[in-house]
């Protein structure tokens, strides 16, 4: 949850709770401190805001409930509560006739008269109610005395609850009972802004709740009452956070109106306006902070000047056995522009598996070499680093540029040789794993870092790489990822990076025929595999690896291996196996056997083989496919279809598969477009869960907007943030004082790839 603190953001949330600090920094802070850079633009300094009051002092809370609110919802202050928005709304403005009620409906409101009440077995009060259109039962198990006294036959009430069905008849368990008000059913009152702090509107908010909250007395109703109390106490002190001109230009409602109506909407229209404003604001500030970093970097950060394309590039380019795709050419142009701009390149290169990123990486590295600099290409695993190295050697042949491979398993003598080659500059391009960032690896003239599958590198590791730059000027950075990230999410995750996309596959790639099969078809699967092997093809069989139950996963893998070894016996078939518990030597032995065609089948866990390029492998069997996410399935599928043969991906699942998993599998069978799959994945699971982004996560947590669902607002907010910065890059004008102030908050201290050291 975002910490909401209007006047004291620079003190930090932890300290605010401490009364001593409150005394010191908040209450007593004299206005004349405004000469201090940090205080510039502060308006309400020197006065402690009700918004920062501890939540226990809100009427109806107290220490016990305060502890619950804190532990369950992270609410510590009045301001926090105010920024805890409903996650859905119940429209109580309409009345449903009993005859139209179905058991699968959400909450409904009924206006009905009590017909009879009967206590059954001393435990259950059954009340028949009718509204002229029909009759139904309301059931109560608790507070029977109170209910039976209230619900006298002949009296009319508004009943509100969720319909259910019992013995084939519709009923409602423990509905809310309210007296009939004359305006009930006629919509809300007129928009009243801050003045109308009433809970008597017909649309009510529903807040996230937990068992503990309810047991502690913070029921849905109580939560509504607390929100009413906090609005009453604190809303007058909420200051506008967006400049007047932005409200005008974007047609946004004022903050007071937005907060009032997000909790107690006067009407659906008012709610929409409130939500739009709050979402826009959230996304706007996020984009503004990211873009501002980019602007500052562009203007301030010196980059290594690499004006030439260089001979090595041209030699490699001319010798290529194929033409670059249009997308590859465009991306290389973008990269060239960066490298000769005099500013540091910070570029994310996105491209689906097989789109030809390696080629782009090699040509980029050759530009650096052509300008007298060294480049490194870092991969997350040893297997991948080796593969890059092999490919690179092939491309470098016509250039005479020397490359080397450095990994954790490089031998001491080899290591020494590489170290000196890097120090004397004879090695132009070094490929490797984390071993590259060790302190004893020093370059003569390091100028470019290419990082593959960036999300697996930590900030600290990247920082160490940056520091190897000889000139003290940060190296150019190209981050490559094969995880297709939807545009909207990329903007948020990498808003401070420039993004290039290879959105075109090299020609001649054959589609991969994808199908789903259940356990009952295993014999057919094995027959199919045998037929393919007889045609000279090779087969991947991949098992899921899910870290919570590693032992179990390995048991699956081993059982699967045994099963396959039995079905594909020696000497006709050779089966290799690769998994994380093997030594590097074992891994390499098995991988090489498969890559060289000595093994027909490679059984592997999902983590090992990402990126492995074996063109002759044309069948990918994914076991327990229901346990993989969409983008992981897509990554795995990308391992086949690289050669000239027709390729297949078979998704094996158990006989019973959840609806959600089935949806994933159907999507996989219906499209090969990684971006389409990623969009779907994001819609299904939310951006936080998107594979490849877990570690990096969103730069700040969003309170109301959703990157997955509010793409249009996000685009608008980004474009608008850009135009604001274009007009005033430093946000120094007085009109932008509020923006400057907001961005000073802790939460916008977003990691910055270029400025880590």
Residue list 603-642, contact with ligand ADP (CB under 6 A): 613, 642
Report what 49 binds from ligand ADP, Mg ion, none; CB cut-off 5-8 Å by kind.
none
Helices and strands per DSSP (H, E), number in the chain:
25, 22
Nearer to Mg ion, 76 or 351 (CB): 351
The verdict on 324 binding ligand ADP (CB under 6 A) reads: yes
- Residue 177 interacts, among ligand ADP, Mg ion, none and using kind-specific CB cut-offs from 5 to 8 Å, with none
Q: Which of 97, 187, 506, 729 binds ligand ADP (CB under 6 A)?
A: 506
Of 140-148, 330-338, 355-363, 676-684, which segment contacts Mg ion by CB under 5 A?
355-363
Output the smallest distance, CB 621 to ligand ADP, in A: 20
| CB closer to ligand ADP out of 154 and 511 | 511
506 binds, among Mg ion, ligand ADP, none (CB under 5 to 8 A by kind): ligand ADP
Q: Per CB under 5 A, which region of 230-238, 357-365, 664-672, 720-728 contacts Mg ion? A: 357-365
Shortest distance, position 503 Cβ to Mg ion, whole Å: 16
Q: List the single partner that 322 binds among ligand ADP, Mg ion, none, CB under 5 to 8 Å by kind.
A: ligand ADP
User: Does residue 699 interact with ligand ADP by CB under 6 A?
Assistant: no
User: Which run of H or of E encompasses 567?
Assistant: helix 550-567
Q: What's the rounded Cα separation, in Å, for the pair 748 and 14?
A: 17
**Cα distances (angstroms) measured from residue 687 to each of 270, 683, 695, 708:** 28, 8, 12, 6
Question: Interface with ligand ADP by CB under 6 A: which range of 203-211, 324-332, 664-672, 686-694?
Answer: 324-332
Q: Which long-range contacts (CB under 8 A, 24 or more apart) does 242-247 make?
A: 242/281, 242/284, 242/738, 242/739, 243/735, 243/736, 243/737, 243/738, 243/739, 244/735, 245/735, 246/284, 246/720, 246/724
Residue 192 has phi, psi (to 5 degrees) of -120, 0
Cβ neighbours of residue 281 under 8 Å, at least 6 residues apart?
241, 242, 252
Out of ligand ADP, Mg ion, none, what residue 481 binds, judged by CB under 5 to 8 A for its kind, is none
Distance set, CA 53 to CA 65, 69, 216 (Å): 15, 14, 22
Please pick, from the candidates 246, 335, 353, 564, the single residue that binds ligand ADP as defined by CB under 6 A. Answer: 353
Nearest to 201 by CA among 82, 91, 84, 97: 91
| Min dist. Cβ of residue 607 to ligand ADP (A) | 17
Closest by Cα among 679, 289, 675, 691 to 492: 289
Which 449-488 residues touch ligand ADP, going by CB under 6 A?
482
Least Å from the CB of residue 611 to Mg ion: 5
E strands of 57-175, at which residues?
88-91, 108-120, 124-130, 135-140, 156-161, 163-166, 169-173
* Contact flag: residue 357 with ligand ADP (CB under 6 A): yes
Nearest to 515 by CA among 651, 674, 673: 651
| Count of residues that bind ligand ADP according to CB under 6 A | 16
User: What Å distances lie between residue 136 and 95, 128, 322, 389, 673, CA to CA?
Assistant: 15, 6, 75, 74, 51
Q: Which range in 45-53, 128-136, 313-321, 352-360 contacts Mg ion by CB under 5 A?
A: 352-360
Q: Which is nearer to Mg ion, 275 or 357 (CB)?
A: 357
Selected from 310, 356, 447, 711, the binder of ligand ADP by CB under 6 A is 356
Binding at 359: pick from Mg ion, ligand ADP, none (beta carbon under 5-8 Å per type): ligand ADP
Judged by CB, which is closer to Mg ion: 325, or 532? 325
d(CA 156, CA 263): 29
Minimum CB separation of residue 659 from ligand ADP in Å reads: 32
Applying CB under 6 A, among 325, 492, 661, 754 the residue interacting with ligand ADP is: 325
Asked if 328 is part of the footprint of ligand ADP (rule: CB under 6 A), the reply reads yes
CB burial string 203-226: b at 16+ within 10 A, e below: bbbebeeeeebeebebebebbbeb
Q: What is the distance between the alpha carbons of residues 351 and 326, in angstroms, rounded to a whole number?
A: 13
Our finding on whether 358 is near Mg ion (CB under 5 A) is yes
Parallel/antiparallel/unpaired status of strands 617-622 and 601-605: unpaired
Neighbours of 72 (CB within 10 A): 16
* Residue 354 lies near ligand ADP (rule: CB under 6 A): yes
- Outline where 375-480 has alpha helix (H): 382-396, 412-424, 459-466
Quote the least distance from Cβ 429 to ligand ADP, whole Å: 15
What are the angstrom distances between the C-alpha of 255 and each of 50, 706, 743? 16, 20, 17
Q: Which does 92 bind (CB under 5 to 8 A by kind): ligand ADP, Mg ion, none?
A: none
Stretch that binds Mg ion, among 138-146, 294-302, 356-364, 497-505 (CB under 5 A): 356-364
User: From the CB of 218, what's the least distance to ligand ADP, in Å?
Assistant: 52
Query: Is 358 a binder of ligand ADP (CB under 6 A)?
Result: yes
Stretch that binds Mg ion, among 93-101, 262-270, 300-308, 354-362 (CB under 5 A): 354-362
Closest separation between CB of residue 358 and Mg ion, Å? 5
Residues in touch with ligand ADP (CB under 6 A): 322, 324-325, 328, 351, 353-359, 482, 506, 613, 642
Residues in touch with Mg ion (CB under 5 A): 358
């Amino acid at each position: 949850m975002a910490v909401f603190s209007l006047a004291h953001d620079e003190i930090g949330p932890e300290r605010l709770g401490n009364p001593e600090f409150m005394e010191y920094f908040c209450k007593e802070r004299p206005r004349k401190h405004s000469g201090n850079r940090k205080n510039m633009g502060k308006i309400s300094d020197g006065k402690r805001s009700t918004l920062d009051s501890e939540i226990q002092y809100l009427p109806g809370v107290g220490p016990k409930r305060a502890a619950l609110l804190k532990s369950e919802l992270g609410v510590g202050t009045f301001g926090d509560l105010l920024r805890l928005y409903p996650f859905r709304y119940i429209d109580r403005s309409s009345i449903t006739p009993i005859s139209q009620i179905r058991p699968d409906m959400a909450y409904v409101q009924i206006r009905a008269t009590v017909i009879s009440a009967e206590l059954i077995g001393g435990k259950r009060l059954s009340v028949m109610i009718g509204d002229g259109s029909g009759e139904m039962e309301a059931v109560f198990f608790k507070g029977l005395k109170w209910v039976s006294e209230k619900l006298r036959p002949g009296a009319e009430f508004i009943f509100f609850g969720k319909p259910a069905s019992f013995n084939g008849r519709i009923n409602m368990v423990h509905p809310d009972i309210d007296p009939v008000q004359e305006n009930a059913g006629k919509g809300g009152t007129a928009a009243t802004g801050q003045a109308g702090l009433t809970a008597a509107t017909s649309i009510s908010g529903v807040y996230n709740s937990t068992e503990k909250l309810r047991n502690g007395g913070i029921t849905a109703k109580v939560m509504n009452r607390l929100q009413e109390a906090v609005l009453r106490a604190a809303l007058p002190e909420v200051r506008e956070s967006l400049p007047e001109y932005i409200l005008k230009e974007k047609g946004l409602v004022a903050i007071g109106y937005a907060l009032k109506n997000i909790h107690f909407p006067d009407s659906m229209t008012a709610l929409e306006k409130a939500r739009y404003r709050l979402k826009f604001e959230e996304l706007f500030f996020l984009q503004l902070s990211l873009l501002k970093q980019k602007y500052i970097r562009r203007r301030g950060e010196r980059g290594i000047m690499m004006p030439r394309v260089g001979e090595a590039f041209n030699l490699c380019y001319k010798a290529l056995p194929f033409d670059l795709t249009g997308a590859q050419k465009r991306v290389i142009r973008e990269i060239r522009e960066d490298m000769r701009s005099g500013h540091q390149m910070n570029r994310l290169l996105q491209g689906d598996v097989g789109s030809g990123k390696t080629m782009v990486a090699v040509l980029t590295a050759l530009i650096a070499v052509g300008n007298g600099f060294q480049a490194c290409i870092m991969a997350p695993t040893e297997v991948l680093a080796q593969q890059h190295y092999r490919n690179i050697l092939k491309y470098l042949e016509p250039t005479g540029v020397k490359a080397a491979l450095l990994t954790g398993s490089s031998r001491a003598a080899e290591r020494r040789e590489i170290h000196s080659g890097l120090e004397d500059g004879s090695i132009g391009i070094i490929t490797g794993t984390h071993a590259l960032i060790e302190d004893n690896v020093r370059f003569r003239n390091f100028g470019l870092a290419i990082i593959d599958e960036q999300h697996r590198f930590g900030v600290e590791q990247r920082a160490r790489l940056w520091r190897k730059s000889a000139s003290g000027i940060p190296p150019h950075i190209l981050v490559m990822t094969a995880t297709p990230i939807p545009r909207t999410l990329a903007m948020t995750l990498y808003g401070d990076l420039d993004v290039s996309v290879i959105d075109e596959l090299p020609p001649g790639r054959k589609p991969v025929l994808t199908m789903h099969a259940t356990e009952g078809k295993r014999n057919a699967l094995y027959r199919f595999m045998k037929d393919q092997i007889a045609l000279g093809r090779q087969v991947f069989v991949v098992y899921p690896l899910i870290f919570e139950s590693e032992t179990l996963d390995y048991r699956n893998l081993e059982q699967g291996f045994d099963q396959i070894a039995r079905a594909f016996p020696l000497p006709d078939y050779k089966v290799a196996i690769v998994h994380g518990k093997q030594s590097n030597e074992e891994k390499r032995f098995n991988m090489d056997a498969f890559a060289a065609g000595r093994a027909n089948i490679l059984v592997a866990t999902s983590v090992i083989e990402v990126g492995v390029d074996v063109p002759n492998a044309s069948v990918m069997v994914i076991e327990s496919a229901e346990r993989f996410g969409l983008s992981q399935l897509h990554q795995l599928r990308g391992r086949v279809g690289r050669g000239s043969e027709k390729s297949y991906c078979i998704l094996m699942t158990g006989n019973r598969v959840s609806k959600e998993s089935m949806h994933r599998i159907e999507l996989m069978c219906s499209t090969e477009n990684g971006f389409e799959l990623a969009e779907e994945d994001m819609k299904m699971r939310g951006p936080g869960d998107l594979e490849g982004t877990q570690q990096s996560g969103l730069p700040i947590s969003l309170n109301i907007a959703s990157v997955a669902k509010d793409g249009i607002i996000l685009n608008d907010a980004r474009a608008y943030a850009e135009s604001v910065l274009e007009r005033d890059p430093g946000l120094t004008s007085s009109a932008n004082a509020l923006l400057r102030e907001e961005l000073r908050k802790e939460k916008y201290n977003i990691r910055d790839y270029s400025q880590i050291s």
